[in-house]
Structure 1
Amino acid sequence: MEIIKVQQKRKSTKLRTIFLGYLAIFCIGTIALALFLVLIFYVLMSNGALLPANYAEKQVLEAKTILEAGKPLQPDFKQTLYNYALFTSDGSLMEGDLTEKQAKAAWNLTQHSDTTYQFPYNYVRVPHHNKITVMRYSIAAQFEPPILRQYMPNAELSFFAVFCITFLVGVALLASSFGRKLGRKMSGLQQAAQQIQAQDLDFSIKLSGVTEIDQLLHSMDRMKETLKASLQKQWDLEKSRREQISALAHDVKTPLTIVRGNVDLLSETEQSEEQKEYTAYIAESTRQMDQYIKTLIEITKAETAVNLQAETIDTEYYLTKVKDQVLALTAAKKISVVFDVYNLPDTLYADPVLLERAIMNVTSNAVDQASEHSEIRLIVETVKHSIRFTVIDEGPGFSSEALKQAAEQFYMGDSSRRLNGHYGMGLYITKSIVNLHGGTLHIANSTQTGGGQVSIEIPISRIST
Structure 2
Amino acid sequence: MEVSSHSSERKSTKLRTLFLRYLAVFCAGTIALTMIHALIFVGCMRTGMILPANYAEKQVMEASAAVAAGQLPELDSSYTFYKYARYTLDGQLLEHSMTAKQSEKVWKQLENRNSSYRFPYNYTKKTIQQEVYIFKYSVSAQFSDPLLRNLVPSAELFFFVVFCIAFLGGSALLASSFGRKLARKMNGLQEATNLIQQQNLDFTIQYSAIDEIDQVLHSMDQMKHALKQSLESQWKLERSRRDQISALAHDVKTPLTIVRGNVELLSETSLTEEQKEYTDYITESIRQMDAYMKSLIEITKTESLTSLQLATVDLKGFVRKIEGQIHALAVVKELTPYVIADGLPDTIHADPELLERALMNIISNAVDQAPKYSELTLSVEFSQKRIRFCVVDKGPGFSSEALTMATEQFYMGDSARRSNGHYGMGLYIARFIARLHGGELNVANDETTGGGKVTIELPGKTDVDVHQ
Map of 1:448 onto structure 2:
448
Q: Which amino acid aligns with 1:447?
A: E
CA spacing shift, 1:161–1:393, aligned 2, 3 Å = same
Q: Confirm or deny: 8 A CA contact 1:366 1:393 kept in the other structure.
A: yes
Distance apart, 1:439 and its partner CA: 4.5
CA spacing shift, 1:34–1:345, aligned 2, 3 Å = closer
Matched, 1:78 2:57: no
CA distance in 1 between counterparts of 2:133 and 2:416 reads 111
CA spacing shift, 1:384–1:120, aligned 2, 3 Å = closer
Q: Which amino acid aligns with 1:10?
A: R
| 3-state SS, counterpart of residue 447 of structure 2 | coil
| 3-state SS, counterpart of residue 217 of structure 2 | helix
CA spacing shift, 1:53–1:383, aligned 2, 3 Å = closer
Which has the larger displacement, 442-451 or 89-98? 89-98
Map of 1:338 onto structure 2:
337
Map of 1:185 onto structure 2:
185
Map of 1:308 onto structure 2:
309
Q: Confirm or deny: 8 A CA contact 1:37 1:159 kept in the other structure.
A: yes
Map of 2:267 onto structure 1:
267
CA distance in 2 between counterparts of 1:215 and 1:239 reads 36
Q: Confirm or deny: 8 A CA contact 1:122 1:136 kept in the other structure.
A: yes
CA distance in 2 between counterparts of 1:397 and 1:346 reads 31
Distance apart, 1:300 and its partner CA: 0.5
| 3-state SS, counterpart of residue 269 of structure 1 | coil
Map of 1:215 onto structure 2:
215
| 3-state SS, counterpart of residue 7 of structure 1 | coil
Q: How many residues align?
A: 461
Q: Confirm or deny: 8 A CA contact 2:343 2:381 kept in the other structure.
A: yes
CA distance in 1 between counterparts of 2:437 and 2:105 reads 85
CA spacing shift, 1:171–1:196, aligned 2, 3 Å = same
CA distance in 2 between counterparts of 1:194 and 1:19 reads 27
CA distance in 1 between counterparts of 2:248 and 2:75 reads 115
CA distance in 2 between counterparts of 1:461 and 1:141 reads 72
CA distance in 2 between counterparts of 1:364 and 1:426 reads 9
Which has the larger displacement, 340-349 or 52-61? 340-349
Pairs within 5 Å for 1:3-402: 7-75=7-75, 77-128=77-128, 130-305=130-305, 306-308=307-309, 310=311, 312-313=313-314, 315=316, 318-319=318-319, 321-329=321-329, 334=333, 336-343=335-342, 348-349=347-348, 350-370=350-370, 374-383=374-383, 387-399=387-399, 402=402
Q: Confirm or deny: 8 A CA contact 2:84 2:136 kept in the other structure.
A: yes
CA distance in 2 between counterparts of 1:49 and 1:314 reads 80
Q: Confirm or deny: 8 A CA contact 2:121 2:138 kept in the other structure.
A: yes
Which has the larger displacement, 41-50 or 371-380? 371-380
Distance apart, 1:352 and its partner CA: 3.9
CA distance in 1 between counterparts of 2:351 and 2:119 reads 86
Q: Which amino acid aligns with 2:8?
A: Q
Distance apart, 1:187 and its partner CA: 0.3
| 3-state SS, counterpart of residue 172 of structure 2 | helix
Q: Confirm or deny: 8 A CA contact 2:338 2:375 kept in the other structure.
A: no
Which has the larger displacement, 69-78 or 435-444? 435-444
CA spacing shift, 1:21–1:410, aligned 2, 3 Å = farther
Q: Deviations over 1:372-407 (max 9, x none)?
A: 565433334454666533111234434556445544
CA spacing shift, 1:358–1:223, aligned 2, 3 Å = same
| 3-state SS, counterpart of residue 7 of structure 2 | helix
Q: Which amino acid aligns with 2:18?
A: I
CA spacing shift, 1:402–1:167, aligned 2, 3 Å = farther
Q: Confirm or deny: 8 A CA contact 2:85 2:134 kept in the other structure.
A: yes
CA distance in 2 between counterparts of 1:107 and 1:340 reads 99
Distance apart, 1:348 and its partner CA: 4.6
Q: Which amino acid aligns with 2:86?
A: L
Q: Which amino acid aligns with 1:341?
A: I
CA distance in 2 between counterparts of 1:56 and 1:309 reads 86
Distance apart, 1:41 and its partner CA: 1.6
CA spacing shift, 1:348–1:78, aligned 2, 3 Å = closer
Q: Deviations over 1:173-229 (max 9, x none)?
A: 111111101000000000011111111111001110100000111111111111111
CA distance in 1 between counterparts of 2:329 and 2:31 reads 87
CA distance in 2 between counterparts of 1:312 and 1:241 reads 34
| 3-state SS, counterpart of residue 18 of structure 2 | helix
Q: Confirm or deny: 8 A CA contact 1:70 1:129 kept in the other structure.
A: no
% same residue: 55
| 3-state SS, counterpart of residue 159 of structure 2 | helix
CA distance in 1 between counterparts of 2:58 and 2:91 reads 26
CA distance in 1 between counterparts of 2:320 and 2:110 reads 108
CA distance in 2 between counterparts of 1:370 and 1:235 reads 41
CA distance in 1 between counterparts of 2:165 and 2:3 reads 50
CA spacing shift, 1:371–1:35, aligned 2, 3 Å = same
CA distance in 2 between counterparts of 1:300 and 1:76 reads 102
Q: Confirm or deny: 8 A CA contact 1:308 1:436 kept in the other structure.
A: no
Distance apart, 1:38 and its partner CA: 1.5
| 3-state SS, counterpart of residue 64 of structure 1 | helix
Distance apart, 1:341 and its partner CA: 2.2
Q: Which amino acid aligns with 2:44?
A: L
Q: Confirm or deny: 8 A CA contact 2:308 2:437 kept in the other structure.
A: no
CA distance in 1 between counterparts of 2:9 and 2:408 reads 51
Q: Which amino acid aligns with 1:145?
A: D
Which has the larger displacement, 247-256 or 58-67? 247-256
| 3-state SS, counterpart of residue 13 of structure 1 | coil
5+ unaligned residues in a row in structure 1: which ranges? none
| 3-state SS, counterpart of residue 8 of structure 1 | coil
Q: Which amino acid aligns with 1:159?
A: F
Q: TM-score, normalised by structure 2?
A: 0.88
CA spacing shift, 1:396–1:134, aligned 2, 3 Å = farther
CA distance in 1 between counterparts of 2:407 and 2:264 reads 38
5+ unaligned residues in a row in structure 2: which ranges? none
CA distance in 2 between counterparts of 1:72 and 1:2 reads 86
Which has the larger displacement, 158-167 or 209-218? 158-167
CA spacing shift, 1:399–1:187, aligned 2, 3 Å = farther
CA distance in 1 between counterparts of 2:75 and 2:94 reads 16
Q: Confirm or deny: 8 A CA contact 1:410 1:424 kept in the other structure.
A: yes
Distance apart, 1:59 and its partner CA: 0.7
CA spacing shift, 1:152–1:227, aligned 2, 3 Å = same
CA spacing shift, 1:460–1:208, aligned 2, 3 Å = closer
